Structure 1
Amino acid sequence: MQVNKEEKYIDLVIIGSGPAGLTAAIYAARMKLNFIVLEDELVGGQIRSTYSVENYPGFKIISGQELVDKFYEQALSAGATIDEFDNIVRVSLKDNEKIIETDSFIYKAETVIIATGSQYRPLPIKEEATYHGNGIHHCELCDGEMYEDKDIIVVGGGNSAIEGAIFLSRYAKTITIVHQFDNLQSEKSLQEEVLNNPKVTMVWDSEIRHAYGEGKLEEVLVENLKTKETSKIKADGIFVYIGMIPKTKMFEDQIDINKWGYIKAGETTTTNVEGVFVAGDVREKLFRQLTTANADGTVAALMAERYIVNKRRKSNG
Protein backbone atom coordinates (compact mmCIF):
# COMPACT_ATOMS: atom_id res chain seq x y z
CA MET A 1 0.00 0.00 0.00
CA GLN A 2 1.23 3.45 -0.90
CA VAL A 3 2.20 5.67 2.00
CA ASN A 4 1.44 8.95 0.25
CA LYS A 5 -1.55 8.66 -2.04
CA GLU A 6 -2.79 11.24 -4.48
CA GLU A 7 -6.03 12.91 -3.39
CA LYS A 8 -8.70 13.37 -6.01
CA TYR A 9 -11.62 15.75 -5.55
CA ILE A 10 -14.59 14.42 -7.45
CA ASP A 11 -18.33 14.98 -7.83
CA LEU A 12 -19.37 11.39 -7.43
CA VAL A 13 -18.04 7.94 -6.61
CA ILE A 14 -20.19 4.98 -7.65
CA ILE A 15 -19.27 1.86 -5.70
CA GLY A 16 -20.23 -1.23 -7.70
CA SER A 17 -20.74 -1.92 -11.40
CA GLY A 18 -23.79 -4.14 -11.58
CA PRO A 19 -26.88 -2.99 -13.49
CA ALA A 20 -27.63 -0.31 -10.87
CA GLY A 21 -24.09 1.07 -10.86
CA LEU A 22 -23.76 1.01 -14.65
CA THR A 23 -27.13 2.72 -15.12
CA ALA A 24 -26.08 5.39 -12.63
CA ALA A 25 -22.83 5.78 -14.58
CA ILE A 26 -24.68 6.30 -17.87
CA TYR A 27 -26.80 9.05 -16.33
CA ALA A 28 -23.87 10.63 -14.48
CA ALA A 29 -21.86 10.74 -17.70
CA ARG A 30 -24.72 12.35 -19.62
CA MET A 31 -25.04 14.97 -16.87
CA LYS A 32 -21.30 15.74 -17.24
CA LEU A 33 -20.44 14.89 -13.65
CA ASN A 34 -16.84 14.27 -12.68
CA PHE A 35 -17.10 10.71 -11.37
CA ILE A 36 -15.64 7.23 -11.23
CA VAL A 37 -17.07 3.72 -10.85
CA LEU A 38 -15.09 1.47 -8.51
CA GLU A 39 -15.42 -2.32 -8.80
CA ASP A 40 -13.36 -5.06 -7.16
CA GLU A 41 -14.94 -8.00 -9.02
CA LEU A 42 -16.33 -8.63 -12.51
CA VAL A 43 -18.23 -5.75 -14.07
CA GLY A 44 -21.90 -6.61 -14.30
CA GLY A 45 -22.68 -8.11 -10.90
CA GLN A 46 -24.73 -11.26 -10.37
CA ILE A 47 -26.78 -10.86 -13.55
CA ARG A 48 -23.64 -11.72 -15.54
CA SER A 49 -24.03 -15.38 -14.49
CA THR A 50 -27.67 -15.63 -15.61
CA TYR A 51 -27.70 -17.67 -18.80
CA SER A 52 -31.08 -16.49 -20.04
CA VAL A 53 -32.84 -13.17 -19.39
CA GLU A 54 -36.40 -13.11 -20.75
CA ASN A 55 -38.01 -10.29 -18.76
CA TYR A 56 -35.91 -7.28 -19.77
CA PRO A 57 -37.77 -4.86 -22.07
CA GLY A 58 -36.40 -4.72 -25.60
CA PHE A 59 -34.99 -8.25 -25.65
CA LYS A 60 -37.15 -11.33 -26.08
CA ILE A 61 -34.24 -13.38 -24.79
CA ILE A 62 -30.61 -12.47 -24.05
CA SER A 63 -27.89 -13.89 -21.84
CA GLY A 64 -26.97 -12.00 -18.68
CA GLN A 65 -23.41 -11.63 -19.90
CA GLU A 66 -24.50 -10.13 -23.22
CA LEU A 67 -26.84 -7.72 -21.48
CA VAL A 68 -24.33 -6.38 -18.96
CA ASP A 69 -21.73 -6.09 -21.71
CA LYS A 70 -24.16 -3.78 -23.49
CA PHE A 71 -24.61 -1.74 -20.28
CA TYR A 72 -20.83 -1.57 -19.88
CA GLU A 73 -20.19 -0.51 -23.48
CA GLN A 74 -22.90 2.16 -23.27
CA ALA A 75 -21.48 3.55 -20.02
CA LEU A 76 -17.99 3.76 -21.54
CA SER A 77 -19.25 5.37 -24.74
CA ALA A 78 -21.12 7.95 -22.66
CA GLY A 79 -17.84 8.89 -20.99
CA ALA A 80 -17.80 6.86 -17.77
CA THR A 81 -14.54 5.92 -16.06
CA ILE A 82 -14.72 2.41 -14.60
CA ASP A 83 -11.84 1.08 -12.50
CA GLU A 84 -11.94 -2.68 -11.92
CA PHE A 85 -8.52 -3.06 -10.38
CA ASP A 86 -8.23 -0.55 -7.52
CA ASN A 87 -9.61 -2.15 -4.37
CA ILE A 88 -11.33 -0.03 -1.73
CA VAL A 89 -9.50 -0.17 1.60
CA ARG A 90 -11.43 2.44 3.61
CA VAL A 91 -14.70 4.30 3.43
CA SER A 92 -15.74 7.27 5.56
CA LEU A 93 -19.24 8.62 4.96
CA LYS A 94 -20.31 11.75 6.82
CA ASP A 95 -22.73 14.55 6.05
CA ASN A 96 -19.92 17.03 5.44
CA GLU A 97 -17.22 14.69 4.12
CA LYS A 98 -17.08 11.53 2.02
CA ILE A 99 -13.75 9.72 1.63
CA ILE A 100 -13.17 6.55 -0.37
CA GLU A 101 -9.62 5.30 -0.11
CA THR A 102 -8.38 2.70 -2.57
CA ASP A 103 -5.03 0.98 -2.97
CA SER A 104 -3.91 3.84 -5.22
CA PHE A 105 -5.90 6.98 -4.46
CA ILE A 106 -7.93 8.89 -1.88
CA TYR A 107 -11.17 10.12 -3.41
CA LYS A 108 -12.91 13.04 -1.72
CA ALA A 109 -16.39 13.06 -3.18
CA GLU A 110 -19.35 15.37 -2.90
CA THR A 111 -21.68 12.41 -3.38
CA VAL A 112 -21.54 8.62 -3.25
CA ILE A 113 -23.82 5.99 -4.77
CA ILE A 114 -23.59 2.59 -3.10
CA ALA A 115 -24.42 -0.12 -5.63
CA THR A 116 -22.43 -3.01 -4.18
CA GLY A 117 -25.13 -5.64 -4.71
CA SER A 118 -24.97 -8.96 -2.91
CA GLN A 119 -23.02 -12.19 -2.80
CA TYR A 120 -24.03 -15.84 -2.72
CA ARG A 121 -24.94 -17.34 0.64
CA PRO A 122 -22.57 -20.27 1.34
CA LEU A 123 -23.79 -23.81 1.93
CA PRO A 124 -24.01 -24.06 5.75
CA ILE A 125 -21.90 -27.17 6.29
CA LYS A 126 -18.46 -27.42 7.84
CA GLU A 127 -16.97 -28.88 4.65
CA GLU A 128 -17.96 -25.87 2.52
CA ALA A 129 -14.47 -24.35 2.66
CA THR A 130 -12.86 -27.69 1.79
CA TYR A 131 -14.82 -28.15 -1.43
CA HIS A 132 -15.43 -24.52 -2.36
CA GLY A 133 -14.61 -24.22 -6.06
CA ASN A 134 -13.72 -27.90 -6.15
CA GLY A 135 -17.08 -29.58 -5.76
CA ILE A 136 -19.19 -26.74 -4.35
CA HIS A 137 -20.10 -23.92 -6.72
CA HIS A 138 -22.52 -21.02 -7.19
CA CYS A 139 -22.14 -20.21 -10.88
CA GLU A 140 -23.40 -22.72 -13.44
CA LEU A 141 -22.09 -20.62 -16.33
CA CYS A 142 -18.61 -20.52 -14.83
CA ASP A 143 -18.29 -24.13 -13.69
CA GLY A 144 -21.02 -26.24 -15.28
CA GLU A 145 -18.87 -27.52 -18.12
CA MET A 146 -16.61 -29.23 -15.56
CA TYR A 147 -19.42 -31.70 -14.87
CA GLU A 148 -19.96 -33.29 -18.26
CA ASP A 149 -21.75 -36.63 -17.70
CA LYS A 150 -21.47 -36.24 -13.90
CA ASP A 151 -23.94 -36.39 -11.04
CA ILE A 152 -24.88 -32.93 -9.80
CA ILE A 153 -26.87 -31.70 -6.82
CA VAL A 154 -28.65 -28.34 -6.98
CA VAL A 155 -29.62 -26.77 -3.65
CA GLY A 156 -32.58 -24.37 -3.62
CA GLY A 157 -35.99 -23.86 -5.14
CA GLY A 158 -36.15 -20.27 -6.40
CA ASN A 159 -35.60 -18.90 -9.90
CA SER A 160 -31.80 -19.00 -9.65
CA ALA A 161 -31.76 -22.63 -8.54
CA ILE A 162 -34.16 -23.84 -11.20
CA GLU A 163 -32.53 -21.80 -13.96
CA GLY A 164 -29.23 -23.28 -12.81
CA ALA A 165 -30.59 -26.83 -12.89
CA ILE A 166 -31.99 -26.36 -16.38
CA PHE A 167 -28.68 -25.03 -17.65
CA LEU A 168 -26.67 -27.76 -15.91
CA SER A 169 -28.83 -30.45 -17.54
CA ARG A 170 -26.88 -29.70 -20.73
CA TYR A 171 -23.87 -31.34 -19.13
CA ALA A 172 -24.95 -33.55 -16.24
CA LYS A 173 -25.82 -37.22 -16.30
CA THR A 174 -28.21 -36.69 -13.38
CA ILE A 175 -29.40 -33.71 -11.36
CA THR A 176 -30.83 -33.99 -7.86
CA ILE A 177 -32.56 -30.89 -6.54
CA VAL A 178 -32.45 -30.75 -2.73
CA HIS A 179 -34.99 -28.29 -1.37
CA GLN A 180 -36.00 -27.51 2.21
CA PHE A 181 -39.68 -27.11 1.30
CA ASP A 182 -42.26 -29.35 -0.40
CA ASN A 183 -42.76 -27.00 -3.35
CA LEU A 184 -40.71 -24.77 -5.62
CA GLN A 185 -40.73 -20.97 -5.37
CA SER A 186 -39.60 -20.33 -8.95
CA GLU A 187 -41.74 -19.08 -11.81
CA LYS A 188 -44.33 -21.60 -13.03
CA SER A 189 -42.79 -21.90 -16.48
CA LEU A 190 -39.44 -22.82 -14.95
CA GLN A 191 -41.08 -25.34 -12.62
CA GLU A 192 -42.78 -27.09 -15.52
CA GLU A 193 -39.55 -27.27 -17.49
CA VAL A 194 -37.43 -28.67 -14.69
CA LEU A 195 -40.01 -31.14 -13.36
CA ASN A 196 -40.46 -32.56 -16.86
CA ASN A 197 -36.72 -32.98 -17.37
CA PRO A 198 -35.87 -36.72 -17.29
CA LYS A 199 -32.46 -36.01 -15.74
CA VAL A 200 -33.96 -34.30 -12.68
CA THR A 201 -34.94 -35.92 -9.37
CA MET A 202 -36.51 -33.93 -6.52
CA VAL A 203 -35.64 -34.41 -2.85
CA TRP A 204 -38.20 -32.41 -0.89
CA ASP A 205 -38.20 -31.14 2.70
CA SER A 206 -34.47 -31.77 3.02
CA GLU A 207 -31.11 -30.14 3.63
CA ILE A 208 -27.50 -31.21 3.12
CA ARG A 209 -25.71 -31.86 6.40
CA HIS A 210 -22.26 -33.07 5.30
CA ALA A 211 -20.12 -33.57 2.20
CA TYR A 212 -17.59 -36.40 1.79
CA GLY A 213 -14.80 -37.36 -0.58
CA GLU A 214 -11.09 -38.09 -0.79
CA GLY A 215 -9.52 -35.17 -2.62
CA LYS A 216 -12.76 -34.47 -4.45
CA LEU A 217 -16.45 -34.48 -3.65
CA GLU A 218 -18.04 -37.92 -3.85
CA GLU A 219 -21.28 -37.88 -1.85
CA VAL A 220 -23.41 -35.87 0.57
CA LEU A 221 -25.48 -36.64 3.65
CA VAL A 222 -29.03 -35.33 3.39
CA GLU A 223 -31.52 -34.99 6.26
CA ASN A 224 -35.28 -34.93 5.83
CA LEU A 225 -36.48 -32.03 7.96
CA LYS A 226 -39.81 -33.70 8.76
CA THR A 227 -38.83 -37.30 9.48
CA LYS A 228 -35.22 -36.55 10.58
CA GLU A 229 -34.11 -39.54 8.50
CA THR A 230 -30.74 -39.24 6.76
CA SER A 231 -29.50 -40.68 3.49
CA LYS A 232 -26.47 -40.39 1.24
CA ILE A 233 -26.56 -39.19 -2.34
CA LYS A 234 -23.75 -39.64 -4.87
CA ALA A 235 -22.52 -36.28 -6.10
CA ASP A 236 -19.61 -35.03 -8.18
CA GLY A 237 -20.64 -31.41 -7.72
CA ILE A 238 -23.03 -29.20 -5.75
CA PHE A 239 -24.43 -25.93 -7.08
CA VAL A 240 -25.84 -23.77 -4.29
CA TYR A 241 -28.63 -21.19 -4.69
CA ILE A 242 -29.95 -20.40 -1.21
CA GLY A 243 -30.14 -16.66 -1.28
CA MET A 244 -27.86 -13.68 -1.23
CA ILE A 245 -26.05 -11.64 1.40
CA PRO A 246 -25.96 -7.85 0.82
CA LYS A 247 -22.43 -6.49 0.54
CA THR A 248 -22.62 -3.77 3.18
CA LYS A 249 -19.88 -4.69 5.66
CA MET A 250 -17.67 -1.72 4.75
CA PHE A 251 -20.53 0.66 5.56
CA GLU A 252 -21.41 -0.71 9.00
CA ASP A 253 -21.62 1.91 11.77
CA GLN A 254 -21.65 4.66 9.14
CA ILE A 255 -25.06 4.31 7.55
CA ASP A 256 -28.47 2.95 8.55
CA ILE A 257 -28.67 -0.76 7.77
CA ASN A 258 -31.59 -3.05 8.63
CA LYS A 259 -31.29 -6.35 10.53
CA TRP A 260 -30.88 -8.30 7.28
CA GLY A 261 -27.95 -6.14 6.17
CA TYR A 262 -29.73 -4.00 3.57
CA ILE A 263 -29.23 -0.24 3.49
CA LYS A 264 -32.30 1.73 4.51
CA ALA A 265 -33.55 4.07 1.80
CA GLY A 266 -36.88 4.83 0.16
CA GLU A 267 -37.73 5.23 -3.51
CA THR A 268 -35.60 8.38 -3.71
CA THR A 269 -32.58 6.16 -2.82
CA THR A 270 -31.61 8.73 -0.17
CA THR A 271 -29.84 7.35 2.90
CA ASN A 272 -29.52 8.91 6.35
CA VAL A 273 -26.17 10.46 5.33
CA GLU A 274 -26.43 13.62 3.25
CA GLY A 275 -25.15 13.09 -0.29
CA VAL A 276 -25.07 9.30 -0.03
CA PHE A 277 -27.50 7.28 -2.13
CA VAL A 278 -28.05 3.55 -2.57
CA ALA A 279 -29.14 1.60 -5.64
CA GLY A 280 -29.91 -1.97 -6.60
CA ASP A 281 -30.13 -5.18 -4.60
CA VAL A 282 -28.29 -3.68 -1.63
CA ARG A 283 -31.20 -1.30 -0.96
CA GLU A 284 -33.99 -2.20 1.46
CA LYS A 285 -37.03 -2.83 -0.75
CA LEU A 286 -39.78 -5.29 -1.58
CA PHE A 287 -38.72 -6.41 -5.06
CA ARG A 288 -35.21 -7.06 -6.36
CA GLN A 289 -35.26 -7.40 -10.12
CA LEU A 290 -32.99 -6.31 -12.96
CA THR A 291 -35.43 -3.57 -13.94
CA THR A 292 -35.74 -2.26 -10.38
CA ALA A 293 -31.94 -2.10 -10.15
CA ASN A 294 -31.89 0.00 -13.33
CA ALA A 295 -34.57 2.25 -11.88
CA ASP A 296 -32.60 2.72 -8.66
CA GLY A 297 -29.47 3.60 -10.62
CA THR A 298 -31.38 6.21 -12.59
CA VAL A 299 -32.92 7.78 -9.51
CA ALA A 300 -29.67 7.72 -7.52
CA ALA A 301 -27.73 9.51 -10.28
CA LEU A 302 -30.44 12.15 -10.68
CA MET A 303 -30.59 12.67 -6.92
CA ALA A 304 -26.80 12.97 -6.69
CA GLU A 305 -26.75 15.59 -9.45
CA ARG A 306 -29.57 17.52 -7.75
CA TYR A 307 -27.72 17.38 -4.42
CA ILE A 308 -24.53 18.75 -6.00
CA VAL A 309 -26.36 21.58 -7.79
CA ASN A 310 -28.31 22.62 -4.70
CA LYS A 311 -25.20 22.51 -2.50
CA ARG A 312 -23.27 24.71 -4.90
CA ARG A 313 -26.14 27.17 -5.19
CA LYS A 314 -26.21 27.54 -1.42
CA SER A 315 -22.47 28.02 -1.17
CA ASN A 316 -22.58 30.67 -3.89
CA GLY A 317 -25.72 32.24 -2.55
Structure 2
Amino acid sequence: FATDLYNQAKDLGTTFAFEGVVRIENHEDEKIVYTTKNEYHAKAIIIATGMKRRELGIEREKELTGKGVSYCATCDGMFFRGKDVAVNGGGNVAVEDAEYLTRFCNRVYIIHRRDEFRADEAEVVKLDGKENLVKVMNSTVTKLNGDDRLHSIEVTNKNTGETTTLNVDALFVAIGQIPMNQIFSDIIELDEHGFIKTDEECRTSVKGIYAAGDCRVKTVRQLTTAASDGAIAALNACNNL
Protein backbone atom coordinates (compact mmCIF):
# COMPACT_ATOMS: atom_id res chain seq x y z
CA PHE A 1 0.00 0.00 0.00
CA ALA A 2 2.70 2.47 0.99
CA THR A 3 4.72 1.57 -2.11
CA ASP A 4 1.70 2.20 -4.33
CA LEU A 5 1.17 5.63 -2.75
CA TYR A 6 4.85 6.45 -3.18
CA ASN A 7 4.84 5.46 -6.85
CA GLN A 8 1.64 7.39 -7.51
CA ALA A 9 3.04 10.54 -5.90
CA LYS A 10 6.30 10.14 -7.81
CA ASP A 11 4.44 9.76 -11.11
CA LEU A 12 2.59 13.00 -10.37
CA GLY A 13 5.86 14.89 -10.00
CA THR A 14 6.50 14.81 -6.25
CA THR A 15 10.14 15.24 -5.30
CA PHE A 16 11.31 13.02 -2.44
CA ALA A 17 14.25 14.01 -0.25
CA PHE A 18 15.38 11.29 2.16
CA GLU A 19 17.00 13.59 4.69
CA GLY A 20 16.63 14.14 8.41
CA VAL A 21 14.90 17.38 9.41
CA VAL A 22 16.90 19.41 11.92
CA ARG A 23 14.54 22.35 12.48
CA ILE A 24 11.96 24.59 10.84
CA GLU A 25 11.67 28.35 10.86
CA ASN A 26 8.54 30.45 10.47
CA HIS A 27 8.87 33.72 8.57
CA GLU A 28 6.17 36.15 7.52
CA ASP A 29 6.26 35.18 3.85
CA GLU A 30 7.67 31.65 3.96
CA LYS A 31 8.69 28.63 6.02
CA ILE A 32 12.19 27.19 5.96
CA VAL A 33 12.94 23.52 6.59
CA TYR A 34 16.54 22.76 7.49
CA THR A 35 17.74 19.17 6.99
CA THR A 36 21.04 17.40 7.47
CA LYS A 37 21.92 18.22 3.86
CA ASN A 38 19.85 21.14 2.56
CA GLU A 39 17.31 23.83 3.31
CA TYR A 40 13.91 24.07 1.69
CA HIS A 41 11.68 27.14 1.35
CA ALA A 42 7.91 26.73 1.22
CA LYS A 43 4.65 28.59 1.71
CA ALA A 44 3.21 25.74 3.79
CA ILE A 45 4.47 22.73 5.73
CA ILE A 46 2.67 19.52 6.64
CA ILE A 47 4.19 17.63 9.57
CA ALA A 48 3.55 13.87 9.50
CA THR A 49 6.28 12.45 11.71
CA GLY A 50 4.17 9.70 13.28
CA MET A 51 5.31 8.00 16.47
CA LYS A 52 8.03 5.61 17.55
CA ARG A 53 7.77 2.73 19.97
CA ARG A 54 8.84 3.49 23.51
CA GLU A 55 11.95 1.57 24.51
CA LEU A 56 12.90 0.18 27.91
CA GLY A 57 16.10 2.21 27.96
CA ILE A 58 18.24 -0.53 29.45
CA GLU A 59 21.67 -1.85 28.50
CA ARG A 60 21.93 -4.04 25.38
CA GLU A 61 18.35 -3.33 24.28
CA LYS A 62 19.35 -1.99 20.88
CA GLU A 63 22.01 -4.67 20.45
CA LEU A 64 19.49 -7.48 20.96
CA THR A 65 16.64 -5.91 19.00
CA GLY A 66 15.81 -8.41 16.26
CA LYS A 67 17.71 -11.05 18.22
CA GLY A 68 15.04 -11.85 20.76
CA VAL A 69 13.93 -8.33 21.66
CA SER A 70 10.91 -7.23 19.64
CA TYR A 71 8.31 -4.47 19.67
CA CYS A 72 5.70 -6.32 17.62
CA ALA A 73 4.28 -9.63 18.82
CA THR A 74 2.03 -10.04 15.80
CA CYS A 75 5.04 -9.55 13.51
CA ASP A 76 7.57 -11.79 15.26
CA GLY A 77 5.59 -13.99 17.63
CA MET A 78 5.36 -17.02 15.36
CA PHE A 79 9.16 -17.28 15.27
CA PHE A 80 8.94 -18.40 18.89
CA ARG A 81 6.34 -21.14 18.60
CA GLY A 82 6.80 -23.63 21.44
CA LYS A 83 9.24 -21.32 23.26
CA ASP A 84 9.09 -19.42 26.54
CA VAL A 85 8.61 -15.67 25.99
CA ALA A 86 7.83 -12.52 27.95
CA VAL A 87 5.74 -9.42 27.34
CA ASN A 88 6.54 -6.15 29.09
CA GLY A 89 3.64 -3.73 29.57
CA GLY A 90 0.23 -3.32 31.14
CA GLY A 91 -1.94 -1.59 28.56
CA ASN A 92 -4.25 -2.98 25.90
CA VAL A 93 -1.46 -3.80 23.46
CA ALA A 94 0.58 -5.69 26.05
CA VAL A 95 -2.41 -7.70 27.28
CA GLU A 96 -3.55 -8.46 23.73
CA ASP A 97 0.00 -9.53 22.82
CA ALA A 98 0.21 -11.84 25.82
CA GLU A 99 -3.14 -13.48 25.02
CA TYR A 100 -2.09 -13.92 21.39
CA LEU A 101 1.24 -15.52 22.31
CA THR A 102 -0.38 -18.03 24.69
CA ARG A 103 -1.95 -19.68 21.66
CA PHE A 104 1.34 -21.11 20.39
CA CYS A 105 4.14 -20.37 22.87
CA ASN A 106 5.03 -22.80 25.65
CA ARG A 107 4.95 -20.21 28.43
CA VAL A 108 4.21 -16.50 28.43
CA TYR A 109 5.24 -14.11 31.19
CA ILE A 110 3.55 -10.72 31.27
CA ILE A 111 5.53 -8.20 33.29
CA HIS A 112 3.95 -5.00 34.56
CA ARG A 113 5.31 -2.35 36.90
CA ARG A 114 1.99 -1.86 38.72
CA ASP A 115 -0.26 -4.21 40.69
CA GLU A 116 -3.10 -3.91 38.16
CA PHE A 117 -3.19 -3.78 34.38
CA ARG A 118 -4.18 -0.51 32.70
CA ALA A 119 -5.86 -2.40 29.87
CA ASP A 120 -9.62 -2.53 29.41
CA GLU A 121 -11.27 -5.11 31.64
CA ALA A 122 -12.66 -6.84 28.56
CA GLU A 123 -9.09 -7.55 27.46
CA VAL A 124 -7.76 -8.47 30.90
CA VAL A 125 -10.38 -11.17 31.49
CA LYS A 126 -9.14 -12.96 28.36
CA LEU A 127 -6.01 -13.85 30.32
CA ASP A 128 -8.01 -15.71 32.96
CA GLY A 129 -7.66 -19.47 32.78
CA LYS A 130 -4.59 -19.39 30.53
CA GLU A 131 -2.53 -22.19 32.05
CA ASN A 132 0.65 -21.18 30.23
CA LEU A 133 0.45 -17.52 31.31
CA VAL A 134 2.37 -16.15 34.29
CA LYS A 135 1.68 -12.64 35.62
CA VAL A 136 4.71 -10.85 37.06
CA MET A 137 3.32 -7.73 38.72
CA ASN A 138 4.98 -4.74 40.41
CA SER A 139 8.10 -5.56 38.44
CA THR A 140 10.35 -4.16 35.74
CA VAL A 141 12.83 -5.68 33.32
CA THR A 142 16.27 -4.58 34.49
CA LYS A 143 18.70 -6.67 32.46
CA LEU A 144 18.92 -8.56 29.18
CA ASN A 145 21.20 -11.61 28.95
CA GLY A 146 22.57 -13.35 25.91
CA ASP A 147 25.54 -13.40 23.56
CA ASP A 148 24.34 -13.30 19.97
CA ARG A 149 20.70 -13.79 20.99
CA LEU A 150 18.53 -13.18 24.04
CA HIS A 151 18.42 -16.19 26.36
CA SER A 152 17.12 -14.69 29.62
CA ILE A 153 15.96 -11.51 31.31
CA GLU A 154 16.26 -10.25 34.85
CA VAL A 155 13.14 -8.85 36.50
CA THR A 156 13.19 -6.77 39.68
CA ASN A 157 10.23 -6.48 42.03
CA LYS A 158 9.66 -2.82 42.90
CA ASN A 159 8.32 -3.59 46.38
CA THR A 160 10.85 -6.13 47.61
CA GLY A 161 13.87 -5.30 45.46
CA GLU A 162 14.23 -9.01 44.69
CA THR A 163 15.59 -9.87 41.24
CA THR A 164 14.49 -13.00 39.38
CA THR A 165 15.92 -14.50 36.20
CA LEU A 166 13.42 -15.66 33.59
CA ASN A 167 14.75 -17.97 30.88
CA VAL A 168 13.01 -16.71 27.75
CA ASP A 169 13.84 -16.69 24.07
CA ALA A 170 12.00 -13.46 23.37
CA LEU A 171 10.92 -10.26 25.07
CA PHE A 172 8.09 -8.30 23.47
CA VAL A 173 8.14 -4.68 24.64
CA ALA A 174 4.70 -3.03 24.64
CA ILE A 175 5.00 0.05 26.84
CA GLY A 176 3.46 2.59 24.50
CA GLN A 177 4.56 4.94 21.77
CA ILE A 178 5.90 8.48 21.78
CA PRO A 179 5.58 11.26 19.18
CA MET A 180 8.66 12.59 17.41
CA ASN A 181 7.87 16.29 17.63
CA GLN A 182 10.66 17.56 19.86
CA ILE A 183 12.29 19.66 17.14
CA PHE A 184 9.04 21.58 16.63
CA SER A 185 8.40 22.44 20.28
CA ASP A 186 9.82 25.97 20.03
CA ILE A 187 7.63 26.97 17.08
CA ILE A 188 4.25 25.19 17.36
CA GLU A 189 2.08 24.28 20.33
CA LEU A 190 2.28 20.74 21.72
CA ASP A 191 0.25 19.08 24.46
CA GLU A 192 1.77 17.71 27.68
CA HIS A 193 2.58 14.41 25.95
CA GLY A 194 4.35 16.01 23.00
CA PHE A 195 1.56 15.69 20.43
CA ILE A 196 0.87 18.61 18.10
CA LYS A 197 -2.29 20.57 18.87
CA THR A 198 -4.48 21.16 15.80
CA ASP A 199 -8.03 22.05 14.92
CA GLU A 200 -10.33 19.81 12.85
CA GLU A 201 -8.74 21.18 9.69
CA CYS A 202 -5.30 19.93 10.84
CA ARG A 203 -4.06 23.52 11.33
CA THR A 204 -1.47 24.03 14.06
CA SER A 205 -0.94 27.12 16.19
CA VAL A 206 1.16 28.64 13.39
CA LYS A 207 -0.46 29.76 10.16
CA GLY A 208 0.73 27.71 7.21
CA ILE A 209 1.92 24.75 9.29
CA TYR A 210 -0.29 21.67 9.40
CA ALA A 211 -0.02 18.30 11.13
CA ALA A 212 -1.43 14.97 9.98
CA GLY A 213 -1.55 11.46 11.39
CA ASP A 214 -0.36 10.02 14.67
CA CYS A 215 1.86 13.00 15.51
CA ARG A 216 -1.12 15.21 16.34
CA VAL A 217 -3.56 15.20 19.26
CA LYS A 218 -6.38 12.81 18.37
CA THR A 219 -8.49 10.02 19.82
CA VAL A 220 -8.15 7.34 17.13
CA ARG A 221 -4.78 6.51 15.58
CA GLN A 222 -5.23 4.16 12.64
CA LEU A 223 -4.14 4.00 9.02
CA THR A 224 -7.51 5.24 7.80
CA THR A 225 -7.58 8.27 10.12
CA ALA A 226 -4.00 9.16 9.23
CA ALA A 227 -4.84 9.05 5.52
CA SER A 228 -7.86 11.26 6.17
CA ASP A 229 -5.68 13.75 8.03
CA GLY A 230 -3.26 13.84 5.13
CA ALA A 231 -6.01 14.66 2.65
CA ILE A 232 -7.47 17.37 4.92
CA ALA A 233 -4.09 18.96 5.58
CA ALA A 234 -3.06 18.90 1.92
CA LEU A 235 -6.31 20.44 0.69
CA ASN A 236 -6.21 23.18 3.30
CA ALA A 237 -2.56 23.91 2.61
CA CYS A 238 -3.29 24.30 -1.11
CA ASN A 239 -6.43 26.35 -0.58
CA ASN A 240 -4.64 28.79 1.71
CA LEU A 241 -1.61 29.45 -0.48
| TM-score, with structure 1 as normaliser | 0.63
Which of 157, 163, 169 matches 1:236?
Answer: 169
Task: Say whether the 8 Å CA contact 2:53–2:71 is kept in structure 1.
Answer: yes
1:85/1:172 CA distance change after superposition, 3 Å: farther
Q: Tell me, what secondary structure is at the counterpart of 2:213?
A: coil
1:207 to 140, 152, 155: 140
Matched to 2:70, the amino acid is H
Q: Residue 78 of structure 2 aligns with which residue?
A: 145
Describe the shift of the 1:171–1:250 C-alpha distance in structure 2 as closer, same or farther (beyond 3 A).
farther
Within 5 Å, which residues of 2 pair with 1:11-90?
69=1, 80-81=9-10, 86-90=17-21
**What SS class does the counterpart of residue 305 from structure 1 fall into?**
helix
Question: 3-state SS of the aligned residue for 1:281?
Answer: helix
Output one character per residue of 1:127-183: Cα deviation in whole Å (capped at 9) or x when no partner: 212312212110123322321211110001112212222333344211100011222
Tell me what 1:92 maps to.
24
Of 51, 58, 83 in structure 2, the residue corresponding to residue 125 of structure 1 is: 58
Aligned in 2, Cα 1:128/1:270: closer, same or farther, shift over 3 Å?
A: same
**What is the aligned partner in structure 2 of residue 159 from structure 1?**
92
* Identity fraction in percent: 33
Equivalent position SS for 1:263: coil
Instruction: Tell me by how many angstroms 1:221 deviates.
Output: 1.5
Aligned to 1:276: 209
SS of the aligned residue for 2:233 comes to: helix
**1:258-304 residue CA offsets vs partner (Å, 9 max, x unmatched):** 4533223344432233211112321135x343265455445433432
Select 2:194's aligned residue among 261, 277, 281.
Answer: 261
In the aligned structure 2, how far is the partner of 1:293 from the partner of 1:88? 22
Q: How many residues align?
A: 236
5+ long unaligned stretches in structure 2? none
The answer to whether the 8 Å contact 2:202/2:233 transfers is: yes
Contact 1:211 1:219 in 2 (8 A): yes
Letter in 2 for 1:110: K
The equivalent of 2:221 in structure 1 is 289
Equivalent position SS for 1:142: helix
Provide the rounded CA distance (Å) in 2 between the counterparts of 1:196 and 1:301. 49
Q: CA RMSD in A?
A: 3.1
Tell me the alpha carbon deviations over residues 216-254 of structure 1, each in whole angstroms, 9 at most, x when there is no partner.
Answer: 222221112223222221111100011112112443544
